[in-house]
Amino acid sequence: MFFKPYLMALLRLAKTRLRQICGVLLTLFCCAVITGWVSVGFVAQLDRWWHDARLAVSLPAKPATQPSVVIIDIDERSLAQLGHWPWPRSTLASLVETLSGHYRVSVIGFDVVFAERAVNPVLPGMQQLAKRYPALARELAALLAVADEDAVFARALAKAPVVLGYYFDTAGAARHSGTLPEPVFDAELAGATRPLPADGYAANVSLLQRAAGAGGHFNALPDSDGVNRRMPVLVENQGQLYETLSVAMLRRLQGNVPLLPEFDANGLMRGVSVGSVFMPLDAQGAMLIPYAGPRATFRYVSVVDVLQRTLPLSALAGKAVLVGATAPGLMDLRATPLDAVYPGVEIHANALNAVLQGKLYHAPDNRGAEAIAVFVLGCLLAWRLPRMSPVLGMWLTVLCIALVVGGSVYAWQRAQLALPVAAEVLLLASLYLLNISWGYISEARRRRELASAFGSYVPPELVSKMSDAPAAFLQQMKGEHRHLSVLFSDVRDFTRVSEGLPAAELASLMNRYLSAQTTHIQHTRGTIDKYIGDAIMAFWGAPMADEQHARHAIVSALAMQKGMAGLNAAFAERGWPALRIGIGINSGDMTVGNMGSDFRRAYTVMGDAVNLAARLEGLTKQYDVPILCGEGTRQACPDLIWREVDRIRAKGKQQVVTVWQPMAEEDGPPSWQAPWQAVLQAYRAADFAGAATRLAPLLARYPDDGLYKVYQQRIEHYLAVPPDRWDGVFEQTEK
Contact 168, 221 (CB under 8 A): no
Going by C-alpha positions, the residue among 88, 213, 120 that lies closest to residue 158 is: 213
Q: Kindly state whether residues 296 and 435 are assigned to the same domain.
A: no
Same domain, 419 and 551: no
CATH number where 522 lies = 3.30.70.1230
Q: Are residues 70 and 106 in the same domain?
A: yes
Tally of domains within the chain = 3
| Phi and psi, residue 472, nearest 5° | -65, -40
Question: From the DSSP assignment, how many helices (H) and strands (E) are in the chain?
Answer: 25, 28
Asked if 204 and 117 count as a contact pair (C-beta separation under 8 A), the reply is no
CA dihedral sign of residues 183, 186, 192, 196:
positive
**Shared-domain flag, residues 342 and 386:** no
Question: Does 393 share its domain with 293?
Answer: no
Q: Are residues 414 and 505 in the same domain?
A: no
Quick check: 407 and 419 in contact, CB under 8 A?
yes
Together in a domain, 269 and 214: yes
Q: How far is CA 693 from CA 509, 682, 700, 709, 711, in A?
A: 45, 10, 12, 14, 12
Query: Domain end: 630, 654, 676, which one?
Result: 630
Per DSSP, the three-state class of 326 is coil
> Counting beta carbons within 10 angstroms of the beta carbon of residue 11, is it exposed (0 to 12), middle (13 to 18) or buried (19 or more)?
exposed
CA atoms of 250 and 306, how far apart (whole Å): 23
Give burial (CB, 10 Å; 0-12/13-18/19+) of 113. Answer: buried
In angstroms, the CA 457 to CA 475 distance is: 17
> 697 in a domain, yes or no?
no
Choosing from 607, 630, 653, the residue where a domain stops is 630
DSSP state of 88: P
In a domain, 55, yes or no: no
| Domain of residue 96, residue span | 66-357
Q: What is the pLDDT of residue 666?
A: 56
Buried b (16+ CB within 10 A) or exposed e, 629-652: bbbbbbebbeebebbebbbbebee
pLDDT score at 311:
92
pTM listed for this prediction: 0.61
User: Based on the domain organization, do 27 and 97 belong to the same domain?
Assistant: no
Specify whether 428 is located in the same domain as 290. no
Domain boundary among 357, 381, 405: 357
23 shares a domain with 152: no
Consecutive H or E run containing 725: none
| pLDDT at residue 35, as a whole number | 75
For the CA atoms of 132, 138, 143, 148, what is the dihedral angle to 10 degrees?
Answer: 70
Q: Indicate the length of the chain as a whole number.
A: 735
Contact 219, 232 (CB under 8 A): yes
The Cα 489–Cα 309 span in angstroms is 115
Pick from 68, 74, 73: nearest CA to 105? 68
Segments of the chain with pLDDT less than 50:
1, 4, 6-16, 123, 140, 144, 146, 462
pLDDT given for residue 471 in this prediction = 54
Q: Angle 152-156-161 (CA atoms, 0-180°, nearest 5)?
A: 155
Task: For residue 657, tell me if it sits in a domain.
Answer: no
DSSP string, 600-648: -EEEEEESHHHHHHHHHHHHHHHHT-SEEE-HHHHHH-TTSEEEEEEEE
Residue 141 lies in a domain: yes
* Residues 602/530, Cβ–Cβ less than 8 Å: yes
Same domain assignment for residues 110 and 158: yes
Q: Is residue 148 part of a domain?
A: yes
| Residue 235 domain-assigned (yes or no) | yes
| H/E segment holding residue 109 | strand 107-110
Residue 531 lies inside a defined structural domain of this protein:
yes
Bridge partners, residue 593, by sequence = 604
Domain identity same for 389 and 268: no
Is 640 domain-assigned?
no
